[in-house]
Chains A and B, each alone.
Chain A
Amino acid sequence: QKEVEQNSGPLSVPEGAIASLNCTYSDRGSQSFFWYRQYSGKSPELIMSIYSNGDKEDGRFTAQLNKASQYVSLLIRDSQPSDSATYLCAVTPGGTSYGKLTFGQGTILTVHP
């Protein structure tokens, strides 16, 4: 089992819809959770971080964390064509490996007009 798995995609949604991106992780002791966005040919950029169970909202983005079920999700409301990108879930492990960061393989999102 991969340490961090994302829904395989690609995901295609119409403009204005809600895009839902999911991520599961295998290390129950994982501490911190992040969503990065990567446009084609560009470097990843951080869009959300979440550290405790529940929802965290930032504009059109909502991150949801459920440590008991070991999943983290990202909802994008009112999706725009400019949201079309690859979304990467990243997780820091439990224990003393404070500097490690493990990424999922990414989900390609396309928002069509």
Chain B
Amino acid sequence: EAQVTQNPRYLITVTGKKLTVTCSQNMNHEYMSWYRQDPGLGLRQIYYSMNVEVTDKGDVPEGYKVSRKEKRNFPLILESPSPNQTSLYFCASSPGLAGEQYFGPGTRLTVT
């Protein structure tokens, strides 16, 4: 089944404890992206990647890191999480155009 998977789906952590949210797609898509969704603020793009080893900032990249060493994987790294990073995170991929994206199921992160 063609899909985007994210792990973990739910995570509660403490301020400052490094964490990684994994994202993997099995559709051989070149483009991948991370978003956060917050009430009243909508979906906001954190980082995106046009291909392996090519990443760029979205609208809210502060406090996040990404890497794209393989085509199928695009992990999101929070080196020192803070409570304002409590959010619902979505990973997405696209075969070409940035807008035609397939979204993963989401990861709900709580930072206390």
Q: Write the residues of chain A forming the contact surface with B, with a CB cutoff of 8 angstroms.
A: 32-34, 42-46, 49, 88, 90-92, 97-106
Contact = CB atoms under 8 A, between A and B. Distances in A.
A105 B42 contact: yes
Report the contact-size class of chain B (Cβ under 8 Å from the partner).
20 to 34
B71 to A, nearest CB: 15
Nearest to A31: B99
A106 B99 CA distance: 16
Nearest to B105: A43
Contacts, number: 64
A49 B100 CA distance: 8
Nearest to A86: B42
B73 to A, nearest CB: 17
Interface string B28-58: 0001010100001111110011100000101
Contact of A45 (B31, B59, B103): B103
